[in-house]
């Protein structure tokens, strides 16, 4: 590792706005919200506010933020409920270097927590004990022209990379944002969260 991760913020920060929001955790540590801003390179794609159950890791609610009524519902949720910002850590190597390396080994150590990602295996251990082991799928993409024929200039298959790690020390919840490499011609899907509770 090049340098140790920054220590967590001493004062928790409440999330009250969608602007700049990526990941936040509920006051009781039972739910995580994630703003998925759509595929990279596709500015017209709508963002979503997705709520996940920490225990199961599954989405329990998803709001498409392209209509004023959904935007209002999402903003009202942040006012009525309490969500907290999570501490953010970047793995080594980071996203752009990882994409250049094609299926790299990535890692991150935070105190007694170790995160390792070597496609397709994502693993989290704490004090040497396994917390999470997950195999993740690659992304394949075949663009088609207006006649339904495959565009040979845009046939891609990319391994996943570990983009960012979020950790809430108070509730022992970790969110690993897993993403893809792409290009301006073939925009990759948006990041998606893998959620686990630490010991």
What pLDDT, on a 0 to 100 scale, did the predictor assign at position 41?
Answer: 46
What pLDDT, on a 0 to 100 scale, did the predictor assign at position 11?
Answer: 75
Residues in the chain with pLDDT < 50? Answer: 1-4, 6-7, 41-43
What pLDDT, on a 0 to 100 scale, did the predictor assign at position 3?
Answer: 47
Cβ-Cβ contacts under 8 Å for 137 (sequence gap 6 or more): 120, 160
Calpha distance 193→36 (Å, rounded): 10
Calpha distance 164→184 (Å, rounded): 21
Calpha distance 127→23 (Å, rounded): 25
For residue 97, what is the enclosing H or E element? Answer: helix 95-101
**First vs last Cα of the chain: how many Å apart?**
24
Calpha distance 114→121 (Å, rounded): 14
What pLDDT, on a 0 to 100 scale, did the predictor assign at position 98?
Answer: 72
Query: Reading across the β-sheet that carries 23-26, which strands appear in turn?
Result: 14-15, 83-85, 23-26, 31-36, 48-53, 59-64
Asked whether 178 and 161 are in contact (CB, 8 A), the reply is yes
What pLDDT, on a 0 to 100 scale, did the predictor assign at position 36?
Answer: 84
What pLDDT, on a 0 to 100 scale, did the predictor assign at position 129?
Answer: 96
Record the tokens describing residue 166, joined without a space: 């979020």
Calpha distance 188→193 (Å, rounded): 15
Tell me the pLDDT tens digit for each residue of 133-158.
Answer: 998 877 766 666 667 776 665 556 66
What pLDDT, on a 0 to 100 scale, did the predictor assign at position 122?
Answer: 93
Q: 0.85 exceeded by the pTM? A: no
What pLDDT, on a 0 to 100 scale, did the predictor assign at position 145?
Answer: 64
């Amino acid at each position: 590792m090049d340098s140790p991760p920054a220590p967590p913020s001493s004062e928790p920060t409440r999330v009250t706005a969608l602007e700049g929001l990526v990941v936040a955790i509920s006051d009781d540590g039972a739910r995580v919200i994630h703003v998925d801003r759509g595929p990279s390179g596709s500015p017209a794609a709508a963002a979503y506010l997705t709520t996940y159950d920490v225990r199961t890791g599954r989405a329990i609610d998803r709001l498409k933020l392209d209509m004023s009524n959904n935007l209002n519902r999402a903003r009202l949720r942040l006012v009525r409920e309490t969500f907290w910002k999570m501490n953010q850590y970047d793995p080594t190597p980071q996203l752009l270097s990882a994409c250049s390396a094609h299926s790299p080994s990535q890692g991150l150590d935070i105190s007694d927590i170790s995160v390792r990602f070597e496609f397709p295996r994502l693993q989290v251990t704490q004090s040497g004990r396994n917390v999470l082991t997950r195999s993740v799928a690659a992304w394949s993409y075949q663009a088609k022209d207006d006649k339904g024929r495959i565009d040979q200039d845009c046939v891609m298959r990319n391994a996943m990379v570990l983009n960012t790690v979020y950790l809430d020390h108070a509730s022992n919840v970790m969110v690993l944002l897993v993403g893809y490499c792409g290009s301006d011609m073939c925009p990759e899907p948006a990041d998606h969260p893998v959620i686990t509770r630490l010991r």
